[in-house]
Amino acid sequence: MLTTPSDRALVPFVSVENMLALVHRRGLDRCLREITDYIAEDFARWNLFDKTPRVASHSPIGVIELMPTSDGTQYAFKFVNGHPANTKHGLQTVTAFGVLADVGTGYPKLFSEMTLLTALRTAATSALATRTLAPKGAQTVAIIGNGAQSEFQIRALAAVCGFTAFRLYDIDAAATGRCAGNLLALGLSLTACGSVEEAVEGAEVITTCTADKRYQTILTDNLVGAGVHVNAIGGDCPGKTELHRDILLRASVFVEYTEQTRIEGDIQQLDPKHPVTELHDVLAGKAAGRTDAGQITVFDGVGFAIEDFSALRWLADRVSEDAPSDQLDLITDPDDPRDLYGMLLRYAQHTSTNIG
C-alpha cells in the first residue's frame, strides 16, 4: 500500500522508554564500562574525525547547541540545550536527541533520545580521564554538585575505576540527600558533607559538576593539594566556570578538543597560549599524563561531539542485537526516487482526497 513504508524508509528510534529498558536489562555498570571503551576506541582514531567547536546559540538564560562529527563512514549530531533555571519550572536543565547516519547514502541509521545517553557518556568520559590521570592508589572521590549528573558520575567512577568512597556536597542539602538515597543500595561509602572544604578533605579525586551559568569559584586554590586529580565538568559554555584560575596555573590541564575548551571550559580564564594537553594524545602515548605523585591534574571536560558519536555507535550496536527500539517512518521512499511530486499525486488518488 502507498501508506506502508518500505524497510529502507524505516529508521530505528530509541525512545526514553527504550533507553530505560536497555539500561535496566543490560545493567548500568556494564553500559558505563562499554561506553567508556567505545570512547577510548574512538579517541584512539582521533585524526579520522571531523572536528569543530559545537554550533551554539546563547541566550542570557541558557544555550542550544548542535554537536556534529564524522569519521568518514558514519556521521552523527546531537541537539542539546543547557538551561540551569529550568528546574525552577519543573523542567530538565539538559535535554538532547541525536542521529547517527551513513555517510555513503546520507540516510539516518538511528534516531535516539540523548538526555539519558548524554548522562551516560559524560560520566564515562570522566571515568576515562580519571582512569588515565588519577594518582595510583587513589581511594576517595569528592563530588561537588549533586544534581542530575552526580549519580552517573559516581556509578561510572565506581564501575570503571573501582572507587567505593565518595564525599558529597551541594549548596542544596536536599540534592545531596537525594543522591545518597538513590545510591544507598549499592554498598558504597557515601558521606554527606556540610561544605566544600569538608567534602575535599582526604579526597584524591575531586569532581565538580555544578549547573549555574556564571563565573564561579567552586574550588579555591587552597582546597586542591599536591597529587589531586580534578574533573571539572560543570563549566561548559562561555561565562561558566568552576575553578579558581590559580588552580589551573599550578596544574597540568587536559582537555578534549582545545579549540572548543578555550571557548567553553575553565581554561577560558587563561591566556589563549597557555599549554594544555588533549586527552586522546595521552591515551595514544603521544603525550605524558601524570608524571609524578605530587602533580595536580585537571580534566577540563566540556563534552565533545566524538563522545556523542561513540555513544550513538554503542547504541546502534545494541539495537542491532535486538535492544528495544521503535521504527519511524522518517524517510520518503517514492517508487521512482526522481519523482517525489508523483508520490503526492499517487497518495491523493489512493485516498480520494483533492489537493487544491
For the domain covering 7-116+307-351, report its CATH number: 3.30.1780.10
Taking only the tens place, the pLDDT of each residue in 280-318 is 999 999 999 999 999 999 999 999 999 999 999 999 999
- pLDDT band for 20, please (50, 70, 90 cuts): very high
- Mean pLDDT of all residues in 172-194: 98
pLDDT in the model for residue 213: 61
Task: Give the type of residue at 53.
Answer: P
CATH ID of 127-303, from 3.40.50.300, 3.40.50.2300, 3.40.640.10, 3.40.50.720: 3.40.50.720
pLDDT in the model for residue 2: 46
Closest CA to 214 of 84, 117, 100, 334: 84
Query: Is 206 a residue whose pLDDT tops 90?
Result: yes
Catalytic residue among 170, 236, 266, 300: 236
Domain ranges across the chain: 7-116+307-351, 127-303
Q: Is 236 a known active-site residue?
A: yes
pLDDT in the model for residue 235: 78
pLDDT in the model for residue 347: 87
- Mean pLDDT of all residues in 257-277: 96
Return d(Cα 157, Cα 138) in angstroms, integer. 12
How far CA 106 is from CA of 9, 202, 225, in Å, comes to 12, 52, 50
Return d(Cα 267, Cα 276) in angstroms, integer. 9
How far CA 293 is from CA of 164, 198, 255, 354, in Å, comes to 21, 23, 20, 77
Record the cell numbers describing residue 331, joined without a space: 524517510
pLDDT in the model for residue 284: 97
Q: At 332, phi and psi to the nearest 5?
A: -65, 140
Record the cell numbers describing residue 38, joined without a space: 567505545
Share above pLDDT 70 across residues of the chain, in percent, rounded to a whole number: 95
Closest CA to 211 of 239, 240, 174: 240
